[in-house]
Amino acid sequence: MRMLLLAGTALMALASTAATAQVSNNTVKIGVLNDRSGIYADLAGEGSAIAARMAAEEFGNKVAGAPIEIVVADHQNKADIAASKAREWVDAENVDVIADVPNSAAALAVQGITRDKKRIFLMSGPGATALTGAQCSPYGFQWAYDNYAMAAGTGRALMEQGKKSWYFVTADYAFGQSLEEETTKMVKQLGGTVAGSVRHPLGTADFSSFLLQAQASQAQVIGLANAGADATNAVKQAAEFGITQGGQSLAGLLLFITDIHALGLQAAQGLMFTEGFYWDLDDQTREWSKKFEAKAGKKPTMVQAGVYSAVRHYLKAVEAAGGDDPDKVAAKMRELPVQDMFAKNGKVAANGRMFHDMYLVRVKKPNESRGAWDYYEIVKTIPAEQAYLDPAKSGCPLVK
């Protein structure tokens, strides 16, 4: 018995020294980089930092014997600011992981840096499919959603309702263009047609001209390939111009629960779109979201819940690899199943895409809602294999 105890303690001591020795600078430093003041600040912003801290707390703020440290920064939706911050973090501050980075243009810039400098990049905010396609990285993981999933979910649902002609109102930058492209592909593949599109600058307040053009196209569906404040203003003004009363359907291709909250159910009711997460799915999500709400003052978006899930999975991989060596951790992240309140039986594909179930939701009518944040009716669950693009077709050079 004594021998056994002795051996045990010796082993444990050995294990812990071995582990700490393999954590660089003896800290695991996670940088949450996102929009903290602009149009995406509510759907990511401080909420994403809170989510990352919640994941770290689950590990007692320690992993593989080393303390976890979380730092945050605002990229102001500018790719150049995102790139210089990422560089500063990696070069001067020993940041091991960069998380979130909504705004695809910013994320593409960070992806390049983390690929060159071998740092793990946990993308929850950006939607561009290139991040796990042509621009994929051995260290880059796209977590909560992507534009293909949005297009596949919402596009297919509307096509099945017999709404086959589309017109797009698109935010004129990397994300919007990619979302329009993915949805166009999906619509055409399912036998639909695209009547045209109009591109608006990011951060447009007045959508009336664009909506009027969409209305004149007489397409059955007007697809909004934009997000955040752009999407809410477009939805609100579409109602003003009587677009849905005129028989056209409005498809928000990327909407977050904070957008619905901001619009109010009166304006948002009936919208159908694809989501990666909803706080009211089951007991686990409700419990986590309640904890989140206590800290953030609102329910989490899929981006924020995704940051939690990605950071948690990363920390598990560090633990399993016994250190934070990026190559080993990346391999472990691909090897281990993702199992938490966000993703049930999720798995990470070779291109860095995390496969998890998505949900097609419809926004409730004001009289159907039982209270604050009771906004969605889950129309159906979209299984992960249907929701995401086959990695073999993603164009990512890592997939052989």
Partner 1 sequence: MSTILGIPPQALFGQLLLGLINGSFYALLSLGLAVIFGMLNVVNMAHGALYMVGAFVAWLLLTYLGINYWIALILSPIVVGAIGLVLERTMLRRLYKVDHLYGLLLTFGLALIFEGAFRHFYGVSGQPYPIPEMLRGGQNLGFMFLPNYRGWVVVASLVVCFGTWYAIERTRLGAYLRAATENPTLVQAFGINVPVMVSMTYAFGVALAGFAGVLAAPIYQVSPLMGSNLIIVVFAVVVIGGMGSILGAIVTGLSLGLLEGLTKVFYPEASNIVVFVIMAVVLMIKPAGLFGRER
Instruction: Give residues in contact with partner 1 (CB under 8 A).
Output: 37-43, 45, 172, 198-201, 203-206, 208-210, 212-213, 215-216, 228-229, 232-233, 236-237, 240-242, 246, 258-259, 261-264, 266-267
Nearest to 176 by CA among 210, 209, 140: 210
Q: Which is nearer to partner 1, 240 or 390 (CB)?
A: 240
What's 73's DSSP letter? E
The answer for residues whose C-beta is within 8 angstroms of residue 104's C-beta and 6 or more apart is 126, 127, 128, 130, 131, 173, 174, 175, 178
The nearest distance, CB 213 to partner 1, in angstroms, is 7
* Nearest distance in Å: CB 12, partner 1: 47
In the complex, the smallest distance separating the C-beta of residue 41 from partner 1, rounded to whole angstroms, is 5
Whose Cβ is closer to partner 1: residue 24's or residue 215's? 215
Give the side-chain half-sphere CA count within 13 A for 70.
23
Nearer to partner 1, 198 or 336 (CB): 198
- Amino acid type, 264: G
- Quote the strand ranges of the chain, DSSP E: 28-34, 62-63, 66-74, 97-100, 120-123, 140-142, 165-171, 193-200, 221-225, 249-252, 272-275, 347-348, 354-355, 358-363, 376-382
Nearer to partner 1, 121 or 256 (CB): 256
Q: Which is nearer to partner 1, 36 or 53 (CB)?
A: 36
- Locate tokens 């608006």: which residue? 200
- Tell the smallest beta-carbon distance from residue 375 to partner 1 (Å): 13
Nearest distance, CB of residue 208 and partner 1, angstroms: 5
Which residues contact residue 74 at a Cβ distance below 8 angstroms, ignoring those fewer than 6 apart? 34, 35, 36, 37
Q: Measured from the CB atom, is 176 or 323 closer to partner 1?
A: 176
Q: Which two tokens stand for residue 196?
A: 């045209």
Q: Enumerate residues 6+ apart whose C-beta is below 8 A from 224.
A: 168, 169, 231, 234, 235, 250, 251, 252, 253
Minimal distance, residue 197 CB to partner 1, in Å: 10
The span from the CA of 79 to the CA of 171, in Å, is: 16
User: Closest CB to partner 1 among 49 and 341?
Assistant: 49
CB of 306 to partner 1, least distance (A): 18
